[in-house]
Amino acid sequence: MKTKLVALAAVATALTMGVSGCGSSSSSSGSKGDGTIASQMIFGGPPEFKTRPDGIPGLKKNYDVSFGKYTVTDVGGPVTVNALKRGQVDAADLFTTDPSIAANDFVILEDPKSNFAAQNVVPIITKSKATDGVKQVINGIQGKLTTEVLGGLLGKVVNDKADPADVAKGFLSDNGLDTTGTAAKGQSLTVGSANFPENVILGEIYAQALEAQGATISKKMNIGARPKYWESLKQGSIDLFPEYTGSILVYIDKNSTATSPDDVYAALGKALPSNLVALDQADAQDSDAIVVTKETADKFKLKTIADLAKKG
């Protein structure tokens, strides 16, 4: 899932041309098909979403939803957003923390059957570093992280071009988590992050909060994708890393079938190497979501993905 920011600029122009070629800006152009709301719609998403188990096949299996047409856009990026804004697609695959959702008043359709596995933010830490004081600091942060809050922080970096470290500092200050103390005094931790803005923000939040509480912190931000940093985390050259429950679970255990937040978190705890532990998961999730415009949601009275299977 976390590849969504990779190489967007390089493909945006070509993909925009592809979307423009669909030849319609309204849902009426979709196939009438089975007469459901979805069958009247054009769906926009990345190529793999059309065949992914939790993509189009999952929507059919779990909700009996079949769209009239599938248009290839990009991985939760500007092509998808612009296609939805312009009416070139009627529904799309975006990510829950995408700041364009709030900026454009888009509506995320609820996923009550957990078609998309939970992707709650979770800190993974070396077990020997997870002292009571360190857990107190980090779990206090987790209690303040919601999807809405995380999306707002990401928007400051993506839209306002703010520095992730400054955004992290502001979050801690706004939530009374920047106070100095001794909860983590005497601890030495290396905090890492992957190379996309949201993860860097989270890494900075953890690092700054622990430092304020007396820990000695080294930072290794923007390391790269999971295959690159996971070995460092397992081997102990990185002590603390912001992760996403569903993504890391499937990476460790490709046969996992857990989807709900609690089930995924429990399965992750069992799957982690013995030297690593997951601290509290946050309410914040960065997962796939089926998104429509407010106009479309109002027109068809859409609140959940299941509503798309109703007769239109």
Handedness of CA 192, 193, 194, 196 (dihedral sign): negative
State whether 154 and 185 are in the same domain.
yes
In the predicted structure, residue 70 carries a pLDDT above the cut 80: yes
> Average of pLDDT values for 65-91?
93
Q: How many helices (H) and strands (E) would you count in the chain?
A: 12, 10
Report pLDDT digits (tens) over 85-136: 999 999 999 989 998 998 999 999 999 998 998 999 999 999 999 999 999 9
The helix/strand/coil state of 110 is strand
Mean pLDDT of the chain: 89
Q: So what's the pLDDT on residue 158? A: 87
State whether 133 and 263 are in the same domain.
yes
Report pLDDT digits (tens) over 207-226: 999 999 999 999 999 998 88
Domain range for 21 is: 8-113+288-309
Which residue in 250, 302, 244, 240 sits closest to 277, CA to CA? 240
State whether 35 and 52 are in the same domain.
yes
CATH number at residue 91: 3.40.190.120
- CB-neighbour burial class of residue 214 (10 A; exposed 0-12, middle 13-18, buried 19+): middle
In the predicted structure, residue 17 carries a pLDDT above the cut 90: no
Residue 2 falls inside a structural domain: no
In the predicted structure, residue 25 carries a pLDDT above the cut 70: no
**Lowest-confidence segment of 4-8, 77-81, 93-97, 308-312 by average pLDDT:** 4-8
Q: So what's the pLDDT on residue 6? A: 39
Domain count for the chain? 2
CATH number at residue 174: 3.10.105
Report pLDDT digits (tens) over 174-187: 999 999 999 999 99
Report pLDDT digits (tens) over 264-301: 999 999 999 999 999 999 999 999 999 999 999 999 99
Q: DSSP readout, 51-87?
A: TSTTSHHHHHHHH----SEEEE--SSSHHHHHHHHTT
State whether 184 and 265 are in the same domain.
yes
